Amino acid sequence: MKRLLRTLAGPALALGCLAARADAQDEERAYDPLAGIDQDGRIERPQLPADLPNPDRWRYTPPGRIAPGNVLERFLISSFFSPVVFRDEDIGTGGGIALTDIDFRNQDYREFANVILTYTTEGQQSYGINWRRWLRHRKLEDGGIVREERSSLFGGLGYSKTLTRRFFGFGSRTREEDETSYTEELTRVGLGARLSVPDPGDDLIVTGALRLERHELDAGHVSSVPSSETVFPGTIAGGDGVDQVWLDLGLAYDSRDSLHQPYRGLRAGVFAETALLQDDSRFGGLLGIDAQAVFPLPPLFHMGGDASEENPPTDVLAIGAVIADTHGDLPFYSLPSLGGSGSLRGYIDNRFTDRAAAHASLEYRFAVVPRGFAFTPTVRVERVGLALFYDVGTVAEGIEDLSDGKVRDSIGIGLRLSFAREAAFRIDYGVSDEGGNLTIRYGNAF
């Protein structure tokens, strides 16, 4: 009997240990949507490891935001559907969906990916995939992770066919009635890297990317305006069927506390985008400088946050500017342009085009629901805000001629929805002397 008990004891003990280990693993896997998050949505910033350089530049994600499951099970926790809606008098209504997953492949917020699909009533279509992987990432002993947001690999590919691209000619004095249209098919693929140097989180940021593009042009489909190839035959012919290999390089001093949703700090950068290879052995590119300044302001509709909070509600005044000039030979669609979702937001995309451009924006961003709201314990909008903006800019044949360009401007208001500091969506409506323009996009305009 004793021998039998001893014989059975070994396997029983092993099974007991396996069961205990399974229970422990189940406890580890148990998901608490409020872990590290107060009932009102406030996130306390944890004690960070002592060896982290520039600890203020590391973004904390609490355990409650790192949900298990597939992209649908994590909806509005770490994955988001963003509607893409736009309307134009000539092309009717278009729309689509953008699926953004900021915990792609469930790697504790190490990777990001999104897919964008759009279609319009006039046959415009666009499909794209974008990906990013952060290079400096650390799990915390008490749960959650920290990630240095400045250093990452990124890539993307896409295809679009737009039947109603607009071209008004060159210069800042083109008129609204100069509008023409053309069809563009664009295929693109790219891969790049961004790195803070010499240490993680440092102010100096180096960026490099390689991208390939192919443009094919045809007659436009806007019935009320002439086709671009009729009005600008040489310009359109020179841009049709062009393959380009681009090398993009950038260097910036950036003291802002965040690249995605800054509350304070300065940025000054230089960039070069060079078409190393083009059809007919053409060579050309863009050189430019950009600058930003962000200042925290006294809160308007809330009491503000505190220093111990990961993402305190903060009202800011943001100022951004960019100047770009062309060197060498580029097709018209690769030249600097103003108008659309990122510049002169009261005008349609690419409203003003030439070989040089200057643009500046002033934006007052303020929270109206500082702690957001929760639909369920796991589905929470972290913050709701508004933005008042003013854009100004011009284009010219060369950077030395910008002072002679006609200055264009637009004003507007925008709605801001933030599911996390790095996951903000905006709906902007800009007004200019040519009417209004509505855009819905991921991330800030600058």
CB 362 within 8 A of CB 393: no
* Three-state secondary-structure class, residue 14: helix
How far apart (Å, rounded) are the C-alpha atoms in residues 65 and 97? 23
- The pLDDT of residue 381: 83
Angstrom distances, CA of residue 367 to CA of 76, 292, 303, 418, 441? 20, 21, 10, 10, 18
Residues pairing with 95 in the sheet: 85, 119
pLDDT per residue rounded down to tens, the chain (446 residues): 444 334 434 444 443 444 444 444 444 457 888 898 888 888 899 989 999 999 989 999 999 889 888 888 888 778 877 666 655 544 556 677 778 888 999 999 899 998 988 887 777 788 999 999 999 999 998 889 999 999 999 999 999 998 888 999 999 999 999 999 999 999 999 999 999 999 999 999 999 999 999 999 999 988 889 999 999 999 999 999 999 999 999 999 999 999 989 999 999 999 999 999 998 778 999 999 999 999 999 999 998 888 788 889 999 999 999 999 999 999 999 999 999 889 999 998 899 999 999 999 999 999 999 988 877 776 778 899 999 999 999 999 999 999 999 999 999 999 998 877 877 888 899 999 999 988 877 789 99
User: Which of 304, 299, 273 has the alpha carbon at shortest distance from 288?
Assistant: 273
| Eight-class DSSP state of 402 | G
pTM of the model: 0.85
Give the pLDDT of residue 84: 65
CA distance 176 to 365: 31
Burial 245-256 (b: 16+ CB within 10 A, else e): ebbbebebebeb
Where residue 7 falls (left for φ over 0; alpha for ψ -120 to 50; beta otherwise) is alpha
Fold annotation for 2-27+60-442? Porin (2.40.160)
pLDDT given at position 425: 83
Q: What residue segments make up the domains of the chain, in order of their start? A: 2-27+60-442
Residue located via tokens 């993402």 = 311
242-254 vs 352-353, strand pairing mode = unpaired
Q: What is the DSSP letter of 227?
A: B
Q: What is the pLDDT of residue 98?
A: 78
- Cβ neighbours of residue 102 closer than 8 Å, sequence gap 6 or more: 78, 79, 80, 109, 112, 420, 422, 423
Which residue matches tokens 């800011």? 316
Alpha carbon dihedral 423, 427, 430, 435, in 10-degree steps, equals 150
Would you say how long the chain is, in residues?
446
pLDDT for residue 419: 77
